[in-house]
Amino acid sequence: MKVDQSIGSALNIKKYFLPKNLKKDFPSSIVVFLVALPLCLGIALASGAPLFSGILTGIIGGIVVSSISGSQLSVSGPAAGLTVIVFSAIASLGSYQTFLLAVVLAGIIQIILGIAKAGIIANYFPSSVIEGMLAAIGIILILKQLPHALGFDSDFEGDESFFQLNQENTFSAIMRAFNEISLGAVIISLLSLALMIYWPRFKKLSAIPAPLLVVISGVLLSILFQNTGLALRADQMVVIPVVNSFNEFKDLFSMADFSQIGNKEVWTVAFTIAIVASIETLLSIEAVDKIDPIKRITPTNRELVAQGIGNITSGMLGGLPMTSVIVRSSVNVNSGARTKMSSIYHGAWLLLSLLFIPMLLNKIPLACLAAILLITGYKLAKVALFKKMWRDGKDQFVPFLVTVLAVVFTDLLKGVAIGMLVGVFYILRTNLRNPYFYKIEKNGGKKVIRIQLAQEVSFLNKAAIQYTLTHLPKESDVIIDGTDSMFIDKDVLEIIHNYKHNAYTKAIIVNLVNIKDHYDVPPLNELIYKPTNNS
């Protein structure tokens, strides 16, 4: 048995290095790396942390978390949704080393959540809300990258919320960008967009990924524009720390201050980071699974454990808290990745670039990276998606649209929470309307009203059933059939039995079929697998 498991494990590992997978994973990892680099730096800057901490978190998220995770396409790293929490936590705790201890503790809490199988909550996110979140992320990418495409990069902070840390909002930043257009950046953006759109149509040349060509052309144009009126400023380029020696590299790391383990505020920050990071991760994982072309399902509890190990490692070395991040994951999917090796490679590229080619990377214009993200945003928020959700009905379209607007005009977690409330409202409304099947039968020359109760009748159905029974016509024969019901709430049972006892006042004859006096909550597997007469 153990031999068979070993062989199976070896075959499973071997699939990551199959030529057909490497052909997709290798180029996609380069695209994710190019997108992740400025985002890691921007999020570190917005968090009030050292720039190196952002890159370090991306490296750990790529190499450590992806190696443990069961997700094939998710990419982990520093998250924009945590910037406000991190910024305020560093200030309140007094030192970055004390904050790192909170990150380590947050990782331990996440591992405990994974072992306790808390990842099951991901199964309760309505599909319409997840679709809305993806579309909103696409719109945010377009809105947030427009300023960079126009050459307005001085306030780049990697912030995805509507209200930015620099006291502006998404729309005011776009208006400022139009007032401060950089012609050189616009030329690079337009050429990059053209390459992203038209290059894949040349099938014979498609072996060279369009995003890689975009970056190469952007670097060449930025060099060509030097000493001309089209020259780019330093703030319009990628900025990565330059390490000149091993001692300088070693000095970039920070250690967590374990002497503060008894500080209550450290534990408060740790629990906050653990809960918010876990929710963001589960949302991202659910979204990535929806856009996975192969439709694989990520084990969510294992993902929480992987994220916990990643945060422990990050906190121990001086990095930021991390989550599974939807922007980089979406880029990964749209770039054609097939396995987790793409994310692992992207982490390796971040490490190698920091060590060996920081000067070269600092020649990459942010405008060409903006073009890559603009195309990714368009793919996530296509008009076809809005049309599809409209055709699916109001109960799908309304939560979808509310989620889109809420995420765009607040931030990811607040927007999803608002969308969830609307989605749950429609779920409850549907549930309230469908506690039974109502039909009129004939028994000889007499009409008989049959009420067939659903498989599960909860207290939420109480009002609907009571209303129906109260308005049944006088002098009727009524059959209330619980044959298919595995559970009927005691409040509903009380209504049914009271109605039977008092129906004679309206000359109504009531017959109860297979309705017990008491129901125990059935095991989950019975609720799922028991066939019904309506199956």
- In sequence order, what are the residues at sequence separation of 6 or more whose Cβ sits closer than 8 angstroms to the Cβ of residue 230? 183, 184, 187
d(CA 35, CA 379): 16
State the first-to-last Cα distance of the chain, in angstroms, to the nearest integer.
40
| 217-232 tens-digit pLDDT | 999 999 999 999 999 9
Amino acid letter, 127: S
CA 11 to centroid of chain Cα atoms: 30
71 pLDDT more than 50 = yes
Is the C-alpha dihedral spanning 64, 67, 69, 75 positive or negative? positive
Q: What is the mean pLDDT of the chain?
A: 85
DSSP assignment of 187-226: HHHHHHHHHHHHGGG-TTTTTS-HHHHHHHHHHHHHHHTT
Contact 53, 318 (CB under 8 A): yes
Domains contained in the chain, CATH given: 23-390 (no CATH), 435-529 (3.30.750.24)
Enter the pTM of the model.
Answer: 0.74
Per-residue pLDDT, averaged over 169-182, amounts to 83
Per-residue pLDDT, averaged over 73-92, amounts to 87
Rg (CA), the chain: 28
Q: How confident is the model at residue 160 (pLDDT cuts 50, 70, 90)?
A: low
Backbone angles phi, psi at 512, to 5 degrees: -95, 125
Per-residue pLDDT, averaged over 503-513, amounts to 88
Backbone angles phi, psi at 294, to 5 degrees: -90, -10
Cβ burial of 466 (10 Å; 0-12, 13-18, 19+) is middle
What percent of the chain lies above the pLDDT cut of 90? 37
| 305-316 tens-digit pLDDT | 999 999 999 999
448: enclosing H helix or E strand: strand 446-453
CB atoms within 10 A of CB 460: 15
